[in-house]
Structure 1
Amino acid sequence: MSPSFSIKVYKQYFNFASSHFMIFENGTREPLHGHNYRVQIKGEAPELAGDMVFDFLDIKPIVREVCDSLDHKLLIPKDNKFLKIYTEKKNYVIETPDESYFSIPMSDTLLLPILNTSAERIAMYISEEIRKKVLSKFQYSFTSLEVEVEETPGQSAVFLHREQL
């Protein structure tokens, strides 16, 4: 393994309060509930540009923007095979295998391109959003980006994306 540099960023405002429910492999679901999530990231690069991996002043607003987009939303995994999701007027209607039926305003809901709303999948989603925004705005890509999502103190999940070299 070759040497590399990394930055780790955690700010008090890297957080979001959201509700969700998990759908399990047998099609059952847990009750609708919420968390006060916290996020931290670690970005890695093999070399320094301007004596930095990436400027803290540039990455902090990006992470905050991604967190803010999730704040006060019901997170729904639109790629989950067990959910039926359709629109009715200004609402998303979500049907689950246990015949639960949710009708929720679109403005209060975020359909995520993930299979489930586990902390692991949410970390993956956040990682992809950060990577897209950094690449779009700065034409930069970390050699690896690690995103940790904490659901509650002492309980977190990590997603690590490594670029193919």
Structure 2
Amino acid sequence: MPRTTTLELHKEEMKFSAGHFTIFSATHRENLHGHNFTVFVALTGEVTDNGMLSDYGPLKRTIIERCHSWNETFFLPDRSPHLKLERNAKGDVLAHFNGEELRFLARDVTVLPVANVTLEELARVFGEELVGDGSAMRRDGVLKLVVKCASGPGQWSSWEWEAA
């Protein structure tokens, strides 16, 4: 009978500080502010004959690298119906919202494939990048992966993937 286990990864290096604002409507958004985000990843799968689910070292490194690349940047959504983004010749980002123009240096911005910069969307983007098409997860015997992003103690959002 197969034995399943869940490995939970929540290391000190799995964090990042980033700025954002949440858009509530075509006319209402938060002021610019930031959070110290943390990331948690859980893998569920079958324990192999060598007593392991898989070598999760590469996955851990990928998580830490993503956290490092997002650290100390300002997040902007590129799929918002209320925010329009454009880049000037230097690559700087101009964000247009309700008659306002917000300017950001290219080096300070991370544009995300999201409708809004929320915990829900951050967890999804993080998870989709880790899972990809799912083939590596299945190869490594991972049946389920959960990604949680927190903006502070007690405030998490989860995204889940399960092998088909």
Q: TM-score by structure 2 length?
A: 0.87
Query: Helix, strand or coil for the counterpart of 1:55?
Result: coil
| Residues 1:96 and 2:97 are matched in the alignment | yes
Identity percentage of aligned residues: 23
Q: Distance in 2 between matches of 1:133 and 1:50?
A: 26
Query: Helix, strand or coil for the counterpart of 1:143?
Result: strand
Superposed CA RMSD in Å reads 2.5
Query: Helix, strand or coil for the counterpart of 2:132?
Result: helix
Structure 1, unmatched stretches of 5+, are none
Q: Distance in 2 between matches of 1:141 and 1:16?
A: 29
- Which residue identity is paired with 1:144? K
How big is the shift at 1:89? 2.5
Runs of 4+ with deviation above 6 angstroms? none
Query: Helix, strand or coil for the counterpart of 2:86?
Result: strand
Query: Helix, strand or coil for the counterpart of 1:54?
Result: coil
1:5-62 deviation line (CA, Å, top 9, x unaligned): 2210010110000000011145411111000001110011245374322224222211
Q: Distance in 1 between matches of 2:75 and 2:110?
A: 5
Q: Distance in 1 between matches of 2:162 and 2:137?
A: 20
Structure 2, unmatched stretches of 5+, are none
Q: Distance in 2 between matches of 1:93 and 1:141?
A: 44
**1:1-165 correspondence runs (5 A):** 4-46=4-46, 48=48, 50-90=50-90, 91-97=92-98, 99-132=99-132, 140=140, 142-163=142-163, 165=164
Q: Is the 8 A contact 1:134 1:140 kept in 2?
A: no
Query: Helix, strand or coil for the counterpart of 2:130?
Result: helix
Q: How many residues align?
A: 162
Query: Helix, strand or coil for the counterpart of 2:142?
Result: coil
